[in-house]
Structure 1
Amino acid sequence: MKYPENILEVGSLLPDYMGFIFWEKSARYFESTIPKLPKSIKKVGVFVNATLDEILDKIKTHDLQAVQLHGNESVEFCELLKKNTSKLIVIIKVFPILDTFDFGILNSYEKVCDFFLFDTKGKLPGGNGTTFDWKVLEQYPSTKPFFLSGGIGIEEFDSLQELLKTNLPVFAIDVNSKFELEPGLKNIQLCRDAINRVSSNQ
């Protein structure tokens, strides 16, 4: 999310999470003030190899409830972040996937992250607009719930519903570029359609 009026429009749909990118190289870089949102919406700060102080500053400034680490953050960094933030701050560690993935990498992150997020590996840390092969997730060895991301649009929702019927611990669906009119500006009708489709299958 990037534009205050658009943020309020999407906020009226009551998504569970709303993301704000604090990586300056992103076309969706957020440098405004987050307007007042319903309390049920968790504000997520998205960071790419930011320093601990930078993350702590954004948490305080914007009253964030979660952080999404989209860079090469180490286990030690995640542990340090966890120790320096409130227990209420949710830590989501992102891992890019293309056709294969070594799930063994996740083992050391289990205790220092609340959720994993699987995104499509691309030129940018996120927002590439393409999906990865979800069959890779059949090898997921953990019970830790995860966010599914990576180029998910309305046209993927039928396949998505089938995935949600499996035993995989999919906690949330992260949508972005395929719901935009331009970077950071969401198409309200598409967002409404997505939320309605998910809600009708719960």
Structure 2
Amino acid sequence: MKLKICGMKYPDNIIEVGAVLPDYMGFIFWEKSARFFDGVIPPIPESIKKTGVFVDETIDTIVAKVQKHKLQAVQLHGKETVAFCTELKSKLQNRIELIKVFSILDDFNFDVLKPYESVCDYFLFDTKGKLPGGNGTTFDWKVLQNYPSSKPFFLSGGIGLNEMEAVNEIIKTNLPIYAIDVNSKFEIEPGLKNSNDLRRIRELSLQ
């Protein structure tokens, strides 16, 4: 099971968390976020895919951030259309992984996913809340029993150490869960992660 740690902000903490060797590390380029990243990403192990998180941003801005920070993945957390995703992929010459986020609470119309399947590498399911992400709450994972696609997805939304038992149960199903995405449940403050707790979840996700 892959692990994505999102919402990184502080250089020293980025290096510290990099030593945990997550598969993905997320940097939020949405100015309204308490975890907004506006610095220089320090050197981290090459095995970690640097992921830029954007919310209804322009294609030119996303491309510029990808080039500046040498991102390997882009996560779209807004209302981006299929046409937008297609143009972005083209501009980036298909060199990055594209993750499209869909927010869920108690139910979800999975029909909306079909047009995105051919252009996105992964979906990410997060909890619908006041903010596009980082709300620290889980959604009803039973909704995913109706997932009709074979497209791999990231499971996100309020996942902490206390949720790992439930995570392991859903992983045992036939759902194509590619990774778990963690953020606020591992924070000392917004953007500052507890590396000891992250080491523990890294161990659990490898089991």
**TM-score, normalized by the shorter chain, greater than 0.5:** yes
Structure 1: which amino acid aligns with 2:200?
D
- The alignment of Structure 1 onto Structure 2 pairs a total of residues equal to 200
In structure 2, the residue matched to 1:186 is: 193
CA distance in 2, matches of 1:119, 1:144: 16
In structure 2, the residue matched to 1:12 is: 19
In structure 1, the residue matched to 2:127 is: 120
1:177 and 2:184 aligned = yes
CA distance in 2, matches of 1:96, 1:159: 19
List gaps (5 residues or longer) in structure 1: none
In structure 1, the residue matched to 2:110 is: 103
List gaps (5 residues or longer) in structure 2: 1-7
1:158 and 2:165 aligned = yes
Decide which of 9, 18, 22 is 1:2's aligned counterpart.
9
In structure 1, the residue matched to 2:63 is: 56
Residues 75-132 of structure 1, C-alpha deviations (whole Å, 9 max, x = no match):
1000000111132300000000000000000000011100000000000000000000
CA distance in 2, matches of 1:25, 1:93: 19
CA distance in 1, matches of 2:59, 2:93: 14
The higher relative CO (CA closer than 8 Å, separation ≥ 6) is in 2
In structure 2, the residue matched to 1:93 is: 100
CA distance in 2, matches of 1:198, 1:44: 19
1:77 and 2:98 aligned = no
Identity percentage of aligned residues: 64
CA distance in 2, matches of 1:165, 1:183: 32
Q: Could you tell me how far 1:5 is from its partner in structure 2?
A: 0.2
TM-score, length basis structure 2: 0.96
CA distance in 1, matches of 2:163, 2:174: 19
CA distance in 1, matches of 2:61, 2:170: 36
Residues 28-69 of structure 1, C-alpha deviations (whole Å, 9 max, x = no match):
000010001111000000000000000000000000000000
RMSD of aligned alpha carbons: 0.5
